[in-house]
Chain A
Amino acid sequence: MDDSNKISRISFVKRPISLPPDYRPMFKVAQIVLILSYCCRSNRSSLLKLHLFSWALKSDLNGQKVTHWVQNNFQTDFSVWGIEPTLNRGIQYAIAEKIIRRVSNKYELADKGVLLLNSIKRDNDLLKTEKDFLNVIGKKITDDRITNLSKKWTLFYVKD
């Protein structure tokens, strides 16, 4: 065998990975702020609702499902939405930053959050897709709707 072509040693260099913006703290915090302002009464929301919207903003397909659900007067079912630990971490950052605060079981926009919200609103091009989507949904989804939906879904799975 010809030894000259033999590879004696291979070394690997670990490179940083590309990270979707959804997994960046600042991006998540901005999303939370937008959700609280555009889609929640008194800028206050349950954890489950935040999860629903965070999931809906994740892809076009998810967004379409939610829009469809709202437009059909909440009659259609859509199967499970995702619960992501990243949102929970985002919420923790937001609380630590005093962007939102926890009031009993809900999360509420704090003063600093309003500051951030206003500066995001001022730039029309910034997070345009997100703003457009949240605007269309508006405050139509109440916590009751979400609880009902999630109840159906637990029953459904329990049966299975």
Chain B
Amino acid sequence: MLKINAIKLEINTTNGLFGADLEFNDGLNIIRGDNSTGKSSMFQAILYGLGLEELLGSKNASTMQYVLRDHVNYDGNEFDVLQSFVFLEFTNGETTITTKRSVVCQGRLPQLIDVIEGAYLTQKGDYNIHPMWVHDAGGASNELYGFHLFLQELLGWQLPEVTNSKGEESRLYIQQIAPSFILEQKTGWSHFLATIPYYNIRNAEGKSIEFLLNLNVAENEKAKRYLNIQKQIINQKWQILFEQSKSLAHKGAAILNGLEPTPFIINDNKNISLSVINDDENISIIDFIEILKESYNELESYSLPNVGQNNDFNEKKLEALTQQYNQLSLQLDILSPEIALDKGQLKSYNQQLISISEDLRKNKDLLKLNKLGADIEMPIANSTCPLCKNTIDNSLLPDGIEETPMQLEENINYLEAQHKMIEVYIEGQKKYIQEKENQVRLMQDKSLEIRQNIRALKRELISDERLPSEVEIERRLSLRNKINFYIKLIDDFNNLKSDIIDLSKEWTILIGREKNLPSDFYSTEDRKKISDLESSFLYLLGKFNYSSQSGERIRISMDKYLPVVETKIGDDKIKQYDIKYDSSGSDFVRAIWAYTCALKRVSDTHDTNHPRLLMLDEPQQQSASINDFRTLLTELSGYKNCQVLVFASFNNSDEDYTNSTRGLQFSLNKIDGKIVKPQ
């Protein structure tokens, strides 16, 4: 909570010390003074003492009245101001502090606020003093010297991060919350939350009410943003892992199964695997290794034969290999021109795509041209002959051609369909070529291997028969290498796979959390608060005799949480517009009364951040009637555990004052003459 205990002005003039004091109590305080007695100066000085003078439209000393800045009018004389200070004592219920801030003081900047740790105005004493800064860069975030941060902590406020118009995160400022409970006279009554300073924050009204009512929507929105960032991170990590797996598969001439380039929930780890084509059959790489091991073991089970022993076998083998090699070469010879052909086809598709795009562009230009032509009344733009006014078929082809050209829109649709189709062709063709190229690569590897084998066999067939078979040694060696290679490959792949599975688990949790967020960010409690705000607002509107609109059409909007009027346009479309446009001047002031009070009422029954302070400067605007003003004061005087400061002139009339306050409980501060007096 926030409660103002007392304010004191200290003004040194060429005619000695002047000053003013006010003390305030719990509940309703009425500060009564006729026009130009200095009421508003006091109101504004309170804002100054709180470092909230931006509500008055600017910063620092320039916001204060001349009495603090320039000269004091007293008894028909003008005395120049030499030095002036504002003292403000306030409390959060537990800690009481007093601020001291200069308006005019040589050698002291108005940005400097002395925080006196005690009730300096009501209980004189020696207190610790902390100088702090306000408004300077870092004023709201510097822990040691930032007064706004200090004020936030005093109020127990944790102001949220919001997105500003540049898309950066920025903190909501205390000056943006204050207009919902402090209404100053000049602009405060012109609109709801009219005095919010603009800090590049989008929908500052909405954000400030969200904070004041402690709605979860901001948190939910933030959570959503956070989730989105997390999702992007996982997405990127996933893509890297996917690419790594793909290149691993490529290295082993293997096929990658069960993985997509984008994250998904993996239910069965076994689905993610590498496989290879062995004898025209797609088998898993683990089975493949087994097959390799088997044939290796088979080889090992024989003792190493001599060249001579092996001759017969070698000859047969050579024959078989040569045949296999020839077959492969033949297949390669067939495939290569096929690929060249496919690439040619791809090129022609690409050309078609370009020419269709160009045609489309021209057709769309033509559509514009027809519009331009129609604007300057060219009949051909509407397919009409400029001479005989008959319909023409919109073509320059000679009459003899008996074809009906398409209408322009139809033609554009047709071309767009063609465009899409060609794009699909191109995609398909690219994939097709890729597959064939893979196949070629596999075959080339294979044929290289066969060639090496053939060479070794031939060498062995002409070498000394007593030597051990080189081919056999080579065969065993290469088989063992191959086995080792694939074991290593599967190891690497398993590492990647476990990373991917971990990532998939994170992903699962993330989208689970995303599902749990309410779809439109509002929690149940939020909805309760907003509906309470709406019903309190409507109830108070009735009490204050607002009559411009019927209550059925008035709602609290869900984006800015401000009153709007709903109308139906068409059958089911609903349009909302500002309540101001349909309210008379005095009715709009009633609406601001009702809204301000409704915010306070909601905080009675819900957990909110409302400071339980209302400060209203001259609420009887736009000649609202005495009766209604009385109703407002009655409402305000009923607010327990809340301090209300009402600065009012009661139209400079004792009768008005009596009529509007009779029988009410409140504390009165009556200002007679000028409030700033010699001390």
Contacts and interface: CB of A to CB of B under 8 A. Distances in A.
Interface of A: 14, 16-30, 85-86, 89-90, 93, 96-97, 99, 112, 115-116, 119-120, 123, 126-127, 129
20 contacts: A17-B404, A17-B406, A18-B405, A18-B411, A18-B414, A19-B397, A20-B359, A21-B359, A21-B363, A23-B395, A24-B408, A27-B365, A28-B396, A86-B396, A86-B397, A89-B396, A90-B396, A96-B387, A112-B378, A119-B372
Contact of A120 (B369, B398, B408, B411): B369
Interface string B360-383: 011101101110110110111100
B392 interface: yes
A17 B414 CA distance: 10
B495 to A, nearest CB: 52
A116 B376 contact: yes
B395 A19 contact: yes
A99 B406 contact: no
Residue of A25, A86, A119, A126 ringed by the most chain B CB atoms within 10 A: A25
Given A23-B395, A24-B395, A97-B386, A16 B410 contact: yes
B403 interface: yes
Interface string B383-421: 001110000101111100001111110110011000000
A46 to B, nearest CB: 20
A54 B208 CA distance: 64
A25 B394 contact: yes
Contact of A16 (B378, B396, B398, B405): B405
B406 A26 contact: no
Contacts of B379: 97
Contacts of B407: 16
B403 A29 contact: no
B420 to A, nearest CB: 15
A120 B378 CA distance: 14
A52 B359 CA distance: 21
B405 A17 contact: yes
A85 B408 CA distance: 22
B372 A18 contact: no
Contacts of B361: 129
A126 to B, nearest CB: 5
Contacts of B358: 129
Residue of B385, B395, B415 ringed by the most chain A CB atoms within 10 A: B395
Contact of A27 (B369, B385, B386, B405): B369
Contact of A17 (B385, B386, B403): B403
Nearest to B375: A119
B431 to A, nearest CB: 29
Contacts of A26: 366, 369-370, 373, 378, 380-381
A131 to B, nearest CB: 11
B365 A99 contact: no
A72 to B, nearest CB: 26
A28 B370 CA distance: 12
A112 B381 CA distance: 14
A129 B370 CA distance: 18
Contact of A19 (B370, B386, B392, B411): B411
Given A21-B366, A96-B387, A115 B395 contact: no
Contacts of B403: 16-17
A111 to B, nearest CB: 10
Contact of A29 (B362, B380, B406): B380
Given A17-B405, A19-B411, A22-B362, A116 B373 contact: yes
A126 B380 contact: no
A97 to B, nearest CB: 5
A95 B408 CA distance: 23
A129 B406 CA distance: 24
B404 A16 contact: yes
Given A18-B414, A97-B378, A25 B392 contact: yes
Contact of B376 (A17, A24, A93, A112): A112
A96 B381 CA distance: 13
Interface string B327-368: 000000000000000000000000000000011011101101
Give the top 9 A-B pairs by smallest Cβ distance, nearest first. Answer: A21-B362, A19-B405, A86-B396, A96-B386, A16-B406, A16-B404, A119-B372, A89-B396, A23-B396
A86 B361 CA distance: 20
A116 B403 CA distance: 30
Contacts of A97: 378-380, 386
Given A116-B376, A119-B372, A126-B369, A19 B406 contact: yes
A24 B382 CA distance: 12
Contacts of A25: 380, 392, 394-396
A127 B363 CA distance: 10
A30 B380 CA distance: 12
A120 B392 CA distance: 24
Contacts of A21: 359, 362-363, 365-366
B473 to A, nearest CB: 64
Contacts of A29: 373, 378, 380
A90 B378 CA distance: 14
B368 A123 contact: yes
A96 B361 CA distance: 27
Nearest to A95: B386
A159 B81 CA distance: 107
Contacts of A20: 359, 362
Given A90-B396, A96-B387, 10 more contacts: A16-B407, A18-B415, A27-B365, A86-B396, A89-B398, A97-B379, A97-B386, A116-B378, A120-B369, A127-B365
A17 B415 CA distance: 11
Contact of B366 (A17, A24, A89): A24
Interface in B488-505: none
Contacts of B372: 116, 119-120
A20 B397 CA distance: 11
Nearest to A86: B396
A65 B628 CA distance: 86
Nearest to B411: A18
B415 A24 contact: no
B388 to A, nearest CB: 10
A30 to B, nearest CB: 5
Residue of A24, A29, A127 ringed by the most chain B CB atoms within 10 A: A24
Contacts of A96: 385-387
A86 B397 CA distance: 6
A71 B350 CA distance: 30
Contacts of A99: 378
Contacts of B381: 26
A119 B411 CA distance: 24
Contacts of A28: 396
Nearest to A96: B386
